Amino acid sequence: MQLPDLRILPLDLLIPHERTDPRRVNPLLARIRDEAVLRNPPIVAPFGNGDKQFVVLDGANRITAMRTLGVPHALVQVVDYSQVQLFVWHHAITQCSVEALLAQIRGIPGLRIYEGDLTHARAMLARREALAFISCDHTHKTDILCGGGDVRERTALLNQLVDMYEGCAKVQRTISDNLREVRQSFSDASAVVVFPRYEPAEIIELARIGVMLPAGITRHVLPLRALRVNYPMAILRSDMSLAQKQGHLSEWLHECLMNRRVRTYTEPTVLFDE
């Protein structure tokens, strides 16, 4: 049976590429304390070129929770970034009118807004001439958001944008940039904020220079993912050496296999207890 590459690594070597979501970190803290296990290992990929650090692809909130708890090491799944599919989540805006949304966006210093159709907005986003665009009616009219010079300025504007509407609206993740399609899932959506699709090299570079994207816009799809591992936090929290912890993990995984506690699903799986 092929198993994911599970390792125990120092938290100091795990570098996020996106900001954390405080609304998710606090429940994670409580759950980790109550259950005393790490259920799903964060996903990380090596920086490469001899660098010992890893970029956190998925699991920034879990990493932050463990740092808050003073845990020195984390159980992670290490992946080859070239084997991972990188997509983007867009944000469906609910419980906020288009008028209120745009009024607040116009107040962000350095952000310029242009009106255009959906095709033009998609083209500008693909060429990175736009930071994002907002689809907000049925006529394919969009508000195209531009601004910032270098990657730090552009990312700072994106974070201000997301912070602004998360403070006054409920946000749902969606893969569609078309409001009509989005409303099939979220009937009360007033707009869709559409983000560019990033490349793996960009994610690594952002992490390397300490620039973090807004939480919840990158979407990494793995060919094989470890879930429900439920590894004991007592081991990660202990003062054992890293080598000792890695040895314990190897024995623990072997025991899981021998006791037939590991199962691979080859078909798409829907979970109802996340």
Quickly tell me which residue has 């599970």 as its tokens. Answer: 6
Q: Calculate mean pLDDT across residues 230-243.
A: 95
21 pLDDT more than 90: no
Q: How confident is the model at residue 225 (pLDDT cuts 50, 70, 90)?
A: very high
Determine the structural domain holding residue 22 and report its residue range.
5-85+220-258
Q: How far is residue 89 CA from its own chain's centroid?
A: 9
Q: Which residues pair with 48 in a beta bridge?
A: 51
Is residue 128 helix, strand or coil? Answer: coil
Q: How confident is the model at residue 49 (pLDDT cuts 50, 70, 90)?
A: confident
pLDDT for 265: 82
Residue with the larger pLDDT of the pair 139 and 59 = 59
Task: CATH number of the domain at 145, please.
Answer: 3.30.1760.10
Let me know if residue 116 belongs to a domain. yes
Let me know if residue 225 belongs to a domain. yes
Q: How far apart are the first and last CA of the chain?
A: 25
Residue type, 55: V
Same domain, 105 and 146: yes
Q: Calculate mean pLDDT across residues 151-179.
A: 93
CA distances from 29 to 43, 66, 111, 233 (A): 18, 8, 36, 12
Same domain, 102 and 189: yes
156 pLDDT more than 90: yes
39 pLDDT more than 80: yes
- Average pLDDT, whole number, for the chain? 92
Report the candidate in 146, 173, 168 with the shortest Cα–Cα distance to residue 157: 146
42 pLDDT more than 80: yes
Same domain, 159 and 96: yes
Same domain, 173 and 147: yes
Q: Are 154 and 131 in contact (CB under 8 A)?
A: yes
| Number of independent structural domains in the chain | 2
Same domain, 177 and 104: yes
Cα pseudo-dihedral 159, 188, 28, 48, rounded to 10: -40
Same domain, 73 and 97: no
Let me know if residue 103 belongs to a domain. yes
Let me know if residue 226 belongs to a domain. yes
Helices (H), strands (E): how many in the chain?
Answer: 9, 15
Same domain, 106 and 66: no
Q: For 93-142, what is each residue's pLDDT tens digit?
A: 999 988 899 899 999 999 999 999 989 999 999 999 999 999 987 556 89
Q: Which residues pair with 18 in a beta bridge?
A: 213
Let me know if residue 205 belongs to a domain. no
pLDDT for 1: 67
Same domain, 51 and 119: no
Longest dimension (CA), the chain: 61
Let me know if residue 47 belongs to a domain. yes
Let me know if residue 33 belongs to a domain. yes
Question: Between vectors from CA 206 to CA 19 and to CA 53, what angle results, nearest 5°?
Answer: 90
Same domain, 100 and 189: yes
Q: For 258-269, what is each residue's pLDDT tens digit?
A: 998 898 887 878
Same domain, 104 and 178: yes
pLDDT for 164: 93
pLDDT for 197: 94
d(CA 187, CA 190): 9
Same domain, 169 and 142: yes
Task: CATH number of the domain at 81, please.
Answer: 3.90.1530.10
Q: Calculate mean pLDDT across residues 9-34.
A: 91
Let me know if residue 230 belongs to a domain. yes
Same domain, 73 and 129: no
